[in-house]
Copies of this chain bind each other. A is one copy, B any other.
Amino acid sequence: MVKKLTSKNKDYSKWYNELVVMADLAENSSVRGCMIIKPYGYAIWEKMQYFLDKMFKETGHQNAYFPLFVPKSLFEAEEKNAEGFAKECAIVTHYRLENDPDKIGKLRVDPKAKLEEELIVRPTSEAVIWNSYKNWIQSYRDLPILINQWANVVRWEMRTRLFLRTSEFLWQEGHTAHETREEAINETVMINDLYEKFAKEYMAMPVLKGIKSKSETFAGAETTYCIEALMQDGKALQAGTSHFLGQNFSKAFDVKFANKEGRLSYVWATSWGVSSRLLGALIMTHSDDNGLVLPPMLAPFQVVIVPIFKNQDELALISDLVENLKSDFLRNDISVKFDNRDKIRPGEKFALYEIQGVPIRLTLGPKDLMNKTVEIFRRDSLTKDTIKIENSVSKVSNLLKEMQKSMYNNALSFRDNNITEVDNFDDFKKVLNTKGGFISAHWDGTEKTENEIKKITKATIRCIPFGNQDEGSCVFSGNHSKQRVLFAKAY
């Protein structure tokens, strides 16, 4: 039998950790801080990749692949970027092992095979990419460059959690080069909007958009745009970032182009990314005490069919019917799995697919065959119904659309009910500690105030939202504030 999951309300963190493992999404490896993404979890990531990749290509981007390693001298070229990542780098110093003379059958690093220059395992690829763009760009005719890369990156982490914070993770990183400041900013904003659309339409996850405060801006960027989501425990999660890099990298790597008038100027840059962290966000947006709840758009299979049978003859009868049903589903672009294993009882299958968040379960037994009915179970609402088999394809098709919409709406109303406007620091602390969620408050725009608030409450400025121009007084210092910003504790 599948083990019972800890309740969300009892211990949200424990619930999350158990769910990831019990739903067979991922597990810790014996390599410090690195995770194994198991087939079921990876299948969700593949769906995410598929839809994002399509959106990138539809907006003119192409994929390419750049080296895993960054020589130290390139890594340190853009100083702010280097400083931002220096403390969390895996560093390759040698290129050969040799037999250990002291231990038979064991190996040791060959001291003679020391690299002249150390290689950093990429924590992000701006350095290695802009060092290449330097050779690709001479004139405005070479611009824009609109490239994306699907890759693994490494950021050494001391405290790790599956999907949310791991030393190695999977992501996509876009790196674009433009003639003008305006064009680069437009790209940055367009991608942030694209991420919002992906979160909404595929993950059924509402996000808030805005820009980061200086202290939360990407190392090496002028401005970081972001989408921020709210998890069920009231903590925020940064779900995607899109950086306007200005001319920082083109200056660090001396990338100039001749413009239409023949004058040389530095190229304008952007970079943007989302990662396998989105799997964590997906889990903590929709799931419940019974396990994962997946939006139909990202479910590895949307429908599971479980037969109820006492013997092989009954199974054969059910299987005949199911094979036809499966073809009907597939013709309607509905993915379906028929679990006809006979060593495992239906109850165990129910528990498994519930914890794995399969959107719809159909159950078929001998009685159903007689009545030409099928039992339909909806994962998000945990409700059951009995329907005619002949209506099952249209019913399932409509239900999947309805679930996708209703999961979004539920998450949206949860999120909206958890944005609280506060106007003094006592309320700020009270709301943060009781209700949680986003706190919309005035801020004087200084890093000092931001740091003080963080020190006292652990809340950070998640984003400075757009089009929110009501002036006021800072919730902490009382000084003048240009607009409300959104605070929260965050993953």
Q: Which residues of A contact B (CB under 8 A)?
A: 27, 29-31, 34-39, 42-43, 45-46, 62-72, 74-76, 79, 82, 86-99, 105-107, 109, 118-121, 128, 131-132, 141, 147, 151-152, 154, 156, 168, 170, 343
Identical copies in the complex: 2
> Which of A71, A97, A118, A147 has the most chain B CB atoms closer than 10 A to its own CB?
A97
- CB of B121 within 8 A of CB of A31, answer no
Contact partners of A67 in chain B: CB under 8 A: 29, 31, 34-36, 168
The 8 Å CB contact of A98, one of B63, B75, B86, B99, is B86
The 8 Å CB contact of A118, one of B109, B154, B168, is B109
The 8 Å CB contact of A42, one of B63, B94, B120, B168, is B63
The 10 A-B residue pairs whose C-beta atoms are closest, nearest first, are: A34-B67, A39-B62, A86-B97, A37-B65, A31-B67, A95-B156, A91-B94, A93-B93, A90-B92, A76-B107
- CB of A36 within 8 A of CB of B91, answer no
The 8 Å CB contact of A96, one of B63, B88, B109, B132, is B88
Contact partners of A107 in chain B: CB under 8 A: 72, 75-76, 82, 86
- CB of A89 within 8 A of CB of B95, answer yes
Contact partners of A120 in chain B: CB under 8 A: 97
Instruction: Report how far A27 CA is from B133 CA in the complex, Å.
Output: 12
Contact partners of A96 in chain B: CB under 8 A: 86-89, 91, 156
Contact partners of A119 in chain B: CB under 8 A: 31, 90
Interface SS of A by simple majority: mixed
Instruction: Report how far A464 CA is from B101 CA in the complex, Å.
Output: 38
A-B contact sample (20 more), CB < 8 A, given A75-B97, A75-B107, A90-B94:
A30-B71, A31-B69, A31-B70, A31-B128, A34-B69, A35-B67, A37-B64, A38-B64, A39-B64, A42-B62, A65-B170, A72-B97, A76-B106, A79-B105, A82-B97, A86-B98, A86-B99, A88-B95, A89-B97, A92-B121
Instruction: Report how far A131 CA is from B28 CA in the complex, Å.
Output: 12
Contact partners of A46 in chain B: CB under 8 A: 63
Q: List 10 A-B contacts (CB under 8 A).
A: A29-B128, A31-B71, A39-B62, A39-B64, A72-B97, A75-B107, A76-B106, A86-B96, A86-B107, A91-B93
| Nearest CB of chain B from residue A171's CB, rounded to whole Å | 12
- Name the CB-closest residue of B to A61: B39
| Nearest CB of chain B from residue A81's CB, rounded to whole Å | 11
- CB of A95 within 8 A of CB of B86, answer no
| Nearest CB of chain B from residue A147's CB, rounded to whole Å | 7
Contact partners of A43 in chain B: CB under 8 A: 62-63
- CB of B121 within 8 A of CB of A66, answer no
The 8 Å CB contact of A87, one of B68, B76, B97, is B97
- CB of B69 within 8 A of CB of A147, answer no
Contact partners of A63 in chain B: CB under 8 A: 39, 42-43, 46
Contact partners of A95 in chain B: CB under 8 A: 88-91, 156
Contact partners of A109 in chain B: CB under 8 A: 91, 93, 118
Instruction: Report how far A131 CA is from B89 CA in the complex, Å.
Output: 25
Instruction: Report how far A71 CA is from B33 CA in the complex, Å.
Output: 12
Contact partners of A45 in chain B: CB under 8 A: 65
Instruction: Report how far A34 CA is from B66 CA in the complex, Å.
Output: 8
Instruction: Report how far A141 CA is from B36 CA in the complex, Å.
Output: 22
Instruction: Report how far A156 CA is from B110 CA in the complex, Å.
Output: 14
Instruction: Report how far A109 CA is from B152 CA in the complex, Å.
Output: 22
Instruction: Report how far A34 CA is from B87 CA in the complex, Å.
Output: 25
The 8 Å CB contact of A65, one of B42, B79, B88, B128, is B42
Contact partners of A30 in chain B: CB under 8 A: 71, 74, 128, 131-132
